[in-house]
Amino acid sequence: MLRYILKRTGGILITLFLVSIFIFLFIRMIPGDPARLMLGEKATPEAIQAITQQYGLDKPLVTQYVIWMKGVLVGDFGTSLRTKMPVLYEIGLRYGNTMKLACLAILWSVVAGLIIGIWSGTHASKWQDYTGITVSVLGQAVPEFWIGLMLILVFCVKLKWFPIVPTGTLRGLILPAFTLGAYMMSTVARFTRSSIIEALKEDYTRTARAKGLRERTVIYKHVLKNSMIPVITIVGMQFGVMLGGAVLVESVFGYSGLGLLLIESINYRDYTMLQTLVLIFSLHFVVINLLVDVLYAVVNPEIRLD
């Protein structure tokens, strides 16, 4: 098991290394002199010269990459072009907000998705199933930014149940988390449903039933256990979609998180902030996928042999 984890971690490290090169080149592709970008419009030629040397901008690309990487590894991501404050400081202020939102969204969507999926799967082709399918199909087709607006209109403006701008309290987070989780909920429901339907056809189910076990026991003890594996995978895979969705949801609700920060930095062309944010998003994505793979291997030992 340990070997498997190490192997997968190694693979992730290689990917992250490549990702960092990608982001590095990405920033070089932006037109304009980075020193000028850093110092602003009124910088004197001497100051620009100084920064160019300090950051080694006149050195070959490889050297520049090494310099940048050295900084990143000790946590020096540079200074925001917009606020002149360290990038990590600004990100730190908002990181928790996005995580709270994402975790809440995952929590409700997985729970609701499982319930709907099990319900649908065990009542295939009955009205329960059709209801479940309809909900999950709709959940995947409705854009976050639109459903968010509609929810605000109904629940905040008309009914006044929730504050309009989320303040970080649980009550304020309900609507954004609901919006963000809708897509994941649908996906989880769909996969649970089809997994269960498949598992119900398997031999072990028939055996269990033949033994005279109660249907409830069959479902929860045998069917569910075996149908969880694809569901775990999909949760991991959907995490990335969710990070993207967070950008939209935060923008709709005016919730101050990393997504909103990303939009602001793009608007202002705050490239140091932008590259760090993109790196952080991809780091999360990759690490979550690793965790999912490991969990997957825990549940299903055969995978490790791959």
Complex with another protein: residue 1 or 165, whichever CB lies closer: 165
Q: Please, is 127 exposed, middle or buried when counting C-beta atoms within 10 Å of its C-beta (0-12, 13-18, 19+)?
A: exposed
Which has the closest alpha carbon to 187: 226, 150, 238? 238
Question: Closest distance between another protein and the C-beta of residue 299, in Å?
Answer: 6
State the Cα–Cα distance between residues 168 and 100, nearest whole angstrom: 8
With left for phi above 0 and alpha for psi between -120 and 50, is residue 196 left, alpha or beta?
alpha
Q: Which residues pair with 86 in a beta bridge?
A: 79
Complex with another protein: residue 15 or 64, whichever CB lies closer: 15
Question: Closest distance between another protein and the C-beta of residue 196, in Å?
Answer: 10
Question: Closest distance between another protein and the C-beta of residue 245, in Å?
Answer: 7
Q: Coil, strand or helix: which one is 273?
A: helix
State the Cα–Cα distance between residues 9 and 297, nearest whole angstrom: 13
Question: Closest distance between another protein and the C-beta of residue 51, in Å?
Answer: 14
Instruction: Collect all residues with Cβ–Cβ distance below 8 Å to 226 and sequence separation of at least 6.
Output: 195, 199, 202, 204
Question: Closest distance between another protein and the C-beta of residue 262, in Å?
Answer: 7
